[in-house]
């Protein structure tokens, strides 16, 4: 549990998360999507603890895409690789099971023995760079654009950008509402997409409120490389690349 919880921010974030759960609950997705997980629902307890770490007036809000099967789908925390959520973020809570569970993507919460590479890279960088969670969250907060994880019948992950337009539109509308509320609440000086998809979503959602021009007098929009092992660039030197990208954006990590 956070040592110094910002009660106003925490209560507001709980409402944003609960409203997002309600907004996406009735959405329907056709083939090849077979099973949909919403960890903001069944992993509410650790997600709620994560929300306690948020602060307003931060340097940057960092936005990912959606939950990975061995990360946030298990812990309710963006990029939530189990070991780092437990050991660096100090969060370990009980997790329920989804109503419909894919046999190849079981949810075992903090008992999960699989390690999500993206989460291990991201939170490993945060730990090694900022040393404590308090130092990181004083300046940053991490959120996922979409709260849902989509699985095909084979168990293969299907990302939101690959959904058909008629399914993607109402999902994006719900996610946009929560993201705008989040930005209004946290008042970041910058919003950073973790990967190209998240950056495009930030630009589309926030519109004229953001700009890539640091002198435009608006929230600065930037991007960093996604830590996914599917990216050859991320497999070469993700940490070094991200440090250079953040330096270019004027974000000091020293």
Full-model pTM: 0.95
Helix, strand and coil in the chain, % to nearest 5: 45, 15, 40
For 60, residues 6+ apart whose C-beta sits below 8 A from its C-beta are 139, 140, 188, 189, 190, 191, 192, 222, 251
Domains of the chain: 7-248 (3.40.470.10)
One digit per residue, the tens of pLDDT, for the chain of length 254 reads 446 899 999 999 999 999 999 999 989 999 999 999 999 999 999 999 999 999 999 999 999 999 999 999 999 999 999 999 999 999 999 999 999 999 999 999 999 999 999 999 999 999 999 999 999 999 999 999 999 999 999 999 999 999 999 999 999 999 999 999 999 999 999 999 999 999 999 999 999 999 998 888 899 999 999 999 999 999 999 999 999 999 999 998 87
């Amino acid at each position: 549990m956070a040592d110094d919880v910002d009660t106003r921010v925490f209560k507001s974030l709980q409402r944003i998360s609960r409203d997002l759960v309600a907004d996406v609950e009735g959405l329907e997705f056709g083939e090849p999507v077979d099973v949909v997980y919403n960890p903001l629902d069944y992993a509410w307890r650790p997600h709620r603890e994560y929300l306690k770490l948020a602060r307003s007036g931060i340097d940057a809000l960092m936005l990912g895409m959606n939950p990975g099967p061995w990360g946030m789908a298990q812990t309710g925390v963006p990029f939530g690789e189990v070991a780092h959520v437990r050991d660096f973020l100090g969060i370990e809570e009980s997790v329920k099971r989804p109503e419909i569970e894919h046999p190849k993507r079981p949810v075992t919460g903090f008992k999960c023995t699989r390690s999500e590479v993206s989460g291990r890279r991201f939170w490993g960088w945060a730990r090694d760079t900022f040393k404590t969670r308090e130092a990181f969250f004083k300046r940053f907060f991490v959120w996922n654009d979409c709260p849902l994880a989509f699985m095909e019948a084979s168990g293969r992950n299907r990302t939101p950008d690959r959904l058909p337009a008629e399914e993607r539109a109402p999902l994006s509308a719900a996610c946009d509402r929560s993201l705008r509320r989040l930005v209004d609440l946290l008042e970041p000086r910058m919003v950073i997409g973790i990967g190209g998809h998240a950056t495009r979503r930030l630009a589309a959602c926030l519109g004229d409120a953001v700009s890539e021009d640091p002198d435009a007098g608006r929230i600065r929009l930037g991007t960093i490389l996604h830590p996914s092992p599917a990216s050859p660039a991320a497999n070469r030197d993700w940490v070094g690349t991200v440090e250079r990208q953040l330096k270019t954006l004027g974000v000091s990590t020293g």
